Chain A
């Protein structure tokens, strides 16, 4: 059974801080790891990391995958209030079904 553990479960910071969100996983026949941002409604896709793409960056957000140690981190630099959201990590293994962690709730205060 695939398993995803995210930490911390919640985080409160001030604008301008840098945050690191963690995602560890156990999966049979790893295919990909996905990061999503969820504000009030549906999760929106951020990054996909695979065996052939272990680092991704978009603006102030970046993510890396460590396939040996079975974890990923999502970094957000110079946080803004608009970064306040739940960040979800999911893995896809041999069953191809996205298995999600419990998410990290990030609150950024002005």
Chain B
């Protein structure tokens, strides 16, 4: 089934540890995004990539990094996790030749930093 796959689905992490959330899509969408979702705050954009080889900062990029080596993969790395990074992380993609803003989301990665 075509779509976006995120891993892990859930993780508990000690503060200070490094963590990479994986995201893979098989829809050949050129744009990909990482959001975090916290209760009462809605979705906040962390980083995005409009095409392979390029990345950009979103609303809340501090403490996170991304890479886009190819079309399908867009990993998100927390270099040194802190408790405020406890959240649900969603990866999404879009076909920029379609409706702007129509996103396809992965199932999310629930991260707890202790």
Q: Do A and B bind each other?
A: no
Residues in chain A within 8 A of chain B (CB atoms): none
